[in-house]
Structure 1
Amino acid sequence: MRAVLPAAGRPLLLGLAGLGLAAALGTGPVLDALAAQDDIAMARDRLARAQAAALAPPAPAPLSAADEAGLVAAFQSRLTALAAERSVAFDGAGIQPDLSRPTLPRLSASLRGTAEGLHGLLDALETGIPLVVLEEAEISVERPADPEIGRATVLRLTLTARGVLPPAPAAKAIP
């Protein structure tokens, strides 16, 4: 025996089927609109980051030169200029090539001065232009303070930094 739907229930069933079909057809565009909204939010975030990066000041150039002698001279002149502004005496600088990274040789220097002067010099080296990347800094007491005559403590700073040399040009093969 077959169940027969009363005539009054058929329009209701057809209405529900039509409503289900409309809901099924409508969810696609709604889901697409929600996905587009997420894409727009991500694009706005990328745009805001790009605008902030464009407005940021450019990164300072590192200490560099065309050759090792020029790099040592640039390092010495930078340290001499910074030492002249503070209570610091510049004793000398040198270069130590790094075979594992030939374009980033180590630069070494020795300075003497007060704690305040050496601290200011280190801060200026790491934040000023050209940027100097310090690897090591060793501070020792050169001469202790003498309160009777009002002499301050003199410290010795030995530091190691990295400089930048351009890569050597590639040798061209002769045919």
Structure 2
Amino acid sequence: MREQDVERGWAGEQLVTAAQNGDREAIAAVVYGAHPHVRRFAQHLCASDTDAEDATQEALIILYRKIGTLRATTALASWMFRIVRNECLRRARRVLDHAPRTETGDVVLSAEDEVLRRLDADQLAEAITALPEVQRRVLIMRDVLGYPGRATADALGLSTAAMKSQLHRARAAVRQGLDHRR
């Protein structure tokens, strides 16, 4: 691996350029460096650990096969996160597509499932509402709306590092709030 080209676990511009040009060693280094970040994102976004692992593997396969189509070397992280988000959504839709439905097409939930779904949604909304404004806005922009990190930071007048810190704090607070309510 070309360690001088790795920046905070993500591949540096020279390494991505070499990978885009077909350098197998560079491609392997980019995939290896991306794995923990992609996995962490998938675990936050997917419904289950199995889906998160599958989404991670699918995203890394796409990265391996299509790195040459990436236009800007600096867009690697946002490209990978978009792939993971789409894969998690595809897996969730597949589960819903196989769920029993009523004549109008609505998914049939048991009374217990419906109560739990509403309870979870209410608890999540409460946990997000309880966040400080900056954390709430960062969380919604990044995790709900899917904005890239730099765009989120710019929109909120934060540095990228400060935005990441606020996002981490927001996720931890929501997780803690949900655990506490359960």
Q: Do they fold alike, i.e. is TM over 0.5?
A: no
TM-score, normalising length: structure 2: 0.22
Greater gyration radius: 1
TM-score, normalising length: structure 1: 0.23
Q: Which of the two has greater helix per residue?
A: 2
Q: Which of the two has greater strand per residue?
A: 1
